[in-house]
Amino acid sequence: MTHNTPLSPRPLRRLSDVTRRVLTAAQLRAQGVTTAETNEQCRPGGPWQQILPGVFLLHPGPPTSEERLHAVLSYAARSPFRETAAGAAGVPAQPNADEPRPAPRYPDAVITGLAALTLHGFSSAPPLPSLDTIDVLVPRMRRLRTVGCARIVRTPALPTPSYVTGLPVAPVPRALADAVAELSDAAVVRRLLTEAVRGGHTEPAAVVRELTQARLLNRPHVVDAVESLLAEGRAIAEDHLYRMVREHALPDPVWNVDLRLPGGPHLGGLDAYWPEQAVAVELDTRAPRQEDDALWSEYARKREMLERLGITVVHITPRKLRDSLEQQATVVRTALMASCDRDPAAYVVVLPR
C-alpha cells in the first residue's frame, strides 16, 4: 500500500471532509487498513501522522483547529465503532429493530474550558489556534491520560452538551468553571465571567452554582470576579425591569426603596413599589451558595410579613425578565388591577434605599 492508495470510498462518502482527515486506528481497521500499513503511512516524511495515541491525521503538516478538536474528541470518546467487516469508519453497523439506536459519534466526550467558550462565541476567550491544549470532559472512571493537545478533565457526570458546528460542547456555566480552574489571572477570569452575563450566555446563579460545585470559591481572585458578576447580573436585571415598566405602559413605581412601619422595624428593601396599590416587585438574584437556604428563608420571611400587612409581593428572576418580559408585565399588571378588590394595606413608610 502506498500513500496514494485510497481508502474504501463507500463509507467515506458519508463523512464530512474533516472526518476523512482525522481517523482512529479502529476506523482505519474497519476500512481494511492494517496496523503495519498505518505505521508505513506515518513514517518520517510520510503522508500521514499520528496526532494523538490511536488517532491519525491523514495529511502532512500542522492540523487545523477543527482537526485538533475532532482529534481530541476521537481520542477521548468511548468508541462506538464495531470492528467487523460490516462496520464503516464513523458509521456503526445498523442495529436490529429491537436494538438501541446507534451511538453518537463522540460518546462520553465533551469539549470544555476555554475551547468551549471560544466555540460558544466568547470574544474574551483566546482563538483556538493559540490554545496549546483542548480540555475534554470524560466520565471519572475512564482510563485516559492527558497527552499532546488533549487535556483530560474527569467528572462524575457528564453535562448535557450543546452542539456547536456538530461538536459536543459543555454548557457555558460548566465550561466557565473548567476554564477558571486553570486560570490564575484575575483580569482574565473577570472578563470571562462578565461576558457570560453581559453577552446573554447564561445567568449569574448558574455560573456560581458550577463554581461552587468545583470548589473554586475559596480562591480570592475568583471571589472578586464573582462579586463583579453578581453586580453585573443585577444591573442587567434592573435595566430589564425598567424596560418592562416603560414598554408595557405600567404606572411608574418608586424605585429601590426600603419599607418601615411607622416608628417600628425595618420591613425590607424592594426594587419597585406602587404605594397606591400596595404592590411590590423584588428581583430574585440570589446566588446558590452554601447559605442559600438561609437567604431563601429571609426572602420568605420578608414576603410573609409584607403580605400580612396587605402588600402583594411579586418575585421575578432575571431569567424571566430576559426571556418573557411581556408575561412578567402581565403578572404585575394583574396584581395592580386586583388591588381594588383587596382590603386596604397597612400604612408603611417608604424610604429611598
Predicted local confidence at residue 303, as pLDDT: 83
Predicted local confidence at residue 345, as pLDDT: 85
Look up residue 151 and give its DSSP letter: E
Predicted local confidence at residue 232, as pLDDT: 82
Instruction: Average the pLDDT over 284-311 and give the result.
Output: 71
Q: Which band of pLDDT confidence, cut at 50, 70 and 90, is reported for residue 317?
A: confident
Q: Which band of pLDDT confidence, cut at 50, 70 and 90, is reported for residue 83?
A: very low
Tell which wins on pLDDT, 290 or 296.
296
Mean pLDDT of all residues in the chain? 84
Predicted local confidence at residue 293, as pLDDT: 56
Range among 96-105, 205-214, 291-300 with highest mean pLDDT value: 205-214
Distance between CA 245 and CA 192 in Å, rounded?
A: 31
Range among 3-12, 102-111, 268-277, 340-349 with highest mean pLDDT value: 268-277
Instruction: Average the pLDDT over 114-130 and give the result.
Output: 96
Residue 256 scores a pLDDT above 80 = yes
Look up residue 55 and give its DSSP letter: E
What is the tens place of the pLDDT at every residue in 20-52? 789 999 999 998 999 999 999 999 999 999 999
**3-state SS, residue 150:** strand
Residue with cell 408585565: 329
Predicted local confidence at residue 263, as pLDDT: 82
Q: For the whole prediction, is pTM greater than 0.75?
A: no
Q: pLDDT over 70 for what percent of the chain? A: 84
The residue length of the chain stands at: 353
What is the tens place of the pLDDT at every residue in 182-222? 999 999 999 999 999 888 898 888 899 999 999 999 999 99
Residue 7's φ and ψ, nearest 5 degrees, are -75, 165
Closest by CA position to 41, among listed 64, 30, 26, 25: 25
Distance between CA 91 and CA 105 in Å, rounded?
A: 8
Tell which wins on pLDDT, 37 or 284.
37
Range among 80-84, 149-153, 289-293, 304-308 with highest mean pLDDT value: 149-153
Residue 99 scores a pLDDT above 80 = no
Alpha-carbon distance values, 63 to 7, 128, 146, 176, 307 (Å): 20, 12, 19, 26, 64
Predicted local confidence at residue 3, as pLDDT: 40
